Structure 1
């Protein structure tokens, strides 16, 4: 585990009112969503995704466990038990209610039933030592995965209605241009409206646009701003949230209409951020999970999810 963490290091909902029918017009404010949700001690989280309603999933980069909780109540439990050596990084929920996970040092990806935790499929992309399948994005036609140690994307095509393909029906997309920069440490990935992909380079501090058909790429102009330690990416419309783990900063970037350039509007920071790994949006809130990559994980190390104004 020390080795995995060292690799990571280097490299409101608005308050509602309820009025009873026939009762006096006295408003009762709803209980606010918790600003902090504790995860099990020693969990060592990395990936986070919000599913249907207020359900949230968090994966462990220690042993691949997946915790499922409720952002409204703050309560949850382990959905998928951990297994030594089965570490997971990014995870996302698809429209069919399936949970996809990037299996980090395992060189592949797994798909689970998000209700039961049953494994539905596994794709073994590579057995090359030192590969790190880190993050993913789901589109209508395919699921794309980054590898932090290799200049490639792994592509799992989806059939009609999101049907899962055979275990060997994936392809390796070789990257070219700035996305092929050695030791860039590709991490977060999101899909753009025109079909291109946006990938964070954690060690170069750059964002690159990738053509998912050819693997060709170009830099996104951020006006000289560096997104060094960029981990997770969250995109809503033309607003991009770049979650920069060891810097304890979330850069809020306003992208231009073509998504070829962006201006940093503000930075979110504060003591509640403790090496945030990634996040997701729910209403007017940004939820991020603290990976705490600057400390050694022990069975008693505390971890959490925090809610921030988006």
Structure 2
């Protein structure tokens, strides 16, 4: 039988926190209102994706078996709300109606989960070929998924109320897109106008603006900045956060309204953080209030049932 897991915040983070409070189960949790800088995930969980709220609630997906873990950002307490199918849960996004869209990695699928009940509302096969369905972004009419193994995106229709439709479409990437030999399309977001998509190529380090109607990709002029190992992305206004996983860094870019140009204004590195809350191969990013939250996938650490995993909280200063 699969376990339900209750975790909590670490008491000693190298920063001043309020005293910890013992719970009825004997697990120690931070008192309400602390918003810890480090949130513990279940041992052996192997996180990759994150989705937020509304409100101070986050969901994380397991690469090991696809479980979905819900956490209070305020207390650090959490529980598994949906047992996985035995295939990965990687990039994720939630909508205002409490639906969670989950990229299925090597399974070539996408799942839509009700965060209130944990029920799987839909399970879509996006491709039957070799693939790694890696990340997802939601627009008013669609959920767009990247494939790191193939130069193409997948569209899952969304109805007027945001409910998942039945139609799925494959959109080949054309124009200036260069696939390369390693991981290709990874993180995905929208442009500041919302009229196009932004996709990062992990291997080449290039960022592209993609026309969602045609798949034509145009390289974004970043003034020479490279985004190699680019993973999850988050756009807030004209600020784009790009997680660069194995170099333990978040690149902070300022975009033009069209998304065709951008400049690097700041980097957030492991060296900026206390050792107790630092990065260990962060993969994706979400924002709540004035802070970013990043799960640490720890790709360079052997994954065992007792390997510890955590989420790092950092300030989301956009730079100038």
| TM norm structure 2 | 0.84
- 2:253, 2:266 within 8 Å by CA — same for their partners in 1? yes
Aligned partner of 2:170 in structure 1 is 172
Aligned partner of 2:302 in structure 1 is 296
Aligned partner of 1:90 in structure 2 is 91
- 2:208, 2:219 within 8 Å by CA — same for their partners in 1? yes
1:144-203 Cα distance to aligned partner (Å, 9 max, x none): 00000001100011122223222xx11101110233524351111011224100001100
Between the aligned partners of 2:33 and 2:122, the Cα distance in structure 1 is: 39
RCO higher in structure (CA 8 A, sep ≥6): 1
Between the aligned partners of 2:180 and 2:242, the Cα distance in structure 1 is: 21
Between the aligned partners of 1:88 and 1:194, the Cα distance in structure 2 is: 26
Show the 5 A alignment for 1:23-38: 31-38=33-40
- Pick aligned residue for 1:62 from 61, 64, 73: 64
Q: How many residues align?
A: 278
1:136 Cα offset (Å)? 0.3
Question: Which consecutive residues of structure 1, in runs of 5 or more, have no partner in the other structure?
Answer: 1-29
2:285 aligned counterpart, secondary structure? strand
Between the aligned partners of 2:36 and 2:232, the Cα distance in structure 1 is: 22
| TM norm structure 1 | 0.87
- RMSD over aligned CA atoms reads 1.5
Between the aligned partners of 1:147 and 1:103, the Cα distance in structure 2 is: 10
Show the 5 A alignment for 1:220-239: 220-239=220-239
Moved over 3 A (4+): none
Between the aligned partners of 1:122 and 1:247, the Cα distance in structure 2 is: 34
Q: Which deviates more, 193-202 or 67-76?
A: 193-202
Aligned partner of 1:119 in structure 2 is 120
- 1:179, 1:210 within 8 Å by CA — same for their partners in 2? no
Between the aligned partners of 2:102 and 2:137, the Cα distance in structure 1 is: 10
Question: Which consecutive residues of structure 2, in runs of 5 or more, have no partner in the other structure?
Answer: 1-31
Distance change in 2, residues 1:238/1:256 (3 Å): same
Aligned partner of 1:191 in structure 2 is 190
1:31 Cα offset (Å)? 4.0
Aligned partner of 1:42 in structure 2 is 44
